[in-house]
Chain A
Amino acid sequence: MENTTDVLKNKYEILFNLAKKSFEEVVSEISGETLQSSGEFAIANNDKLSLSIIIGLSGETNGRILINTSAEYGKNIAITMNFGDELDNEEDLFVYLAEFANMVCGRAATHINNEFGKREIWISPPAIFSAQDLEIVTPNVSSMKAFYEFSFGKFILDMGFSESSYDDF
């Protein structure tokens, strides 16, 4: 008989696989490319401005989804979302990437809620952090990562779950 830890672990794996599926679907719909996750890599280095987009998950399961990339790679997504036109200004990069993350996480919430047949999770508005060599650490959150490298660049999908209340993390 499975213990509580195993049950939770299995549940988190289901949630993470649905988040991966959502990332792959949304990128495919935007870019026309078929995605597959790749081996592990790092994005942050001294030459690139790192970007992290974070969206909180609340409901039956609490946690967060992080999408890590660089300004250079993020711009490729933003321009494609802008129907191929250059962005009007630098701020638009953040506006477009926030919406990209919202689409990925909204799709994930849709798949997850349909899978569980109830309102398992709800998403919060996105926040973006940008810095050289940025690394976001969320204590007390166990996370799973998927790595994607495609024509737009490198992206890391990082889904974390908190077993305590949402306010604690």
Chain B
Amino acid sequence: MTRKVLVIDDSPFVFKAVSKALEGTEWEVVGNALDGQLGIDKYIELRPDVITLDVTMPVMDGLETARKLVEINPKVKIVMLSAMGDETLLNQAKEIGIKHFLMKPFRPETIQAKLAEVFE
């Protein structure tokens, strides 16, 4: 079964890297958005199974985006994929209900394992 992934990150690199890392797996990257607001629009349009979400983004940062996504769908599955991962940030993310976090840079096998973990 193929599972759909949406990448929300202001760096086009991350969309490319995640797409490459998931080539030939059960995961398919179906879209990307360069800021949080666009990400919410894409989520509503594409209804992916899981989202990779950056923290530092223009227009709407990752935490605010996550809050809004949870409002739209309390069961939304999110992996925070960020260059930052301090305790304060992790605690803020946990308060929103995000349990999965991966720091950049990542290797293909790491992100595949992290996505699989979301569905365990």
Contact = CB atoms under 8 A, between A and B. Distances in A.
A95 B86 contact: no
Contact of A29 (B17, B86, B88, B105): B105
Interface of A: 26, 29-30, 81-83, 92, 95-96, 98-99, 102-107, 109-110, 113-114, 117-119, 122-123, 125
A118 B12 contact: no
Contact of A102 (B83, B87, B89): B83
24 contacts: A30-B105, A81-B17, A82-B16, A83-B17, A83-B21, A92-B13, A95-B13, A96-B13, A98-B11, A99-B11, A99-B14, A99-B104, A102-B11, A102-B83, A103-B83, A103-B104, A106-B83, A106-B85, A107-B84, A110-B83, A113-B86, A113-B88, A122-B56, A123-B83
A119 B56 contact: no
Contacts of B86: 109-110, 113-114, 119
Contacts of A110: 83-86, 89, 103
Given A103-B104, A106-B104, A113 B87 contact: yes
A7 B84 CA distance: 26
Contacts of B105: 26, 29-30, 81, 103
B84 A109 contact: yes
A20 B11 CA distance: 23
A95 B56 contact: no
Q: Is the interface of A mostly helix, strand, loop or mixed?
A: helix
Contacts of A99: 11, 13-14, 104
A113 B83 CA distance: 13
Interface residues of B, number: 23
B20 interface: yes
Contacts of A119: 86, 88
B56 A106 contact: yes
Q: Which 7 A-B pairs have the closest CB atoms?
A: A106-B83, A113-B86, A99-B13, A106-B84, A110-B86, A99-B11, A103-B83
A157 to B, nearest CB: 16
A96 B87 CA distance: 27
A30 B20 CA distance: 16
Contacts of A26: 105
Contacts of A30: 105
A10 to B, nearest CB: 21
B82 A95 contact: no
B42 to A, nearest CB: 20
Nearest to A123: B56
B80 to A, nearest CB: 12
Given A26-B105, A95-B13, A123 B20 contact: no
Contacts of A123: 56, 83-84
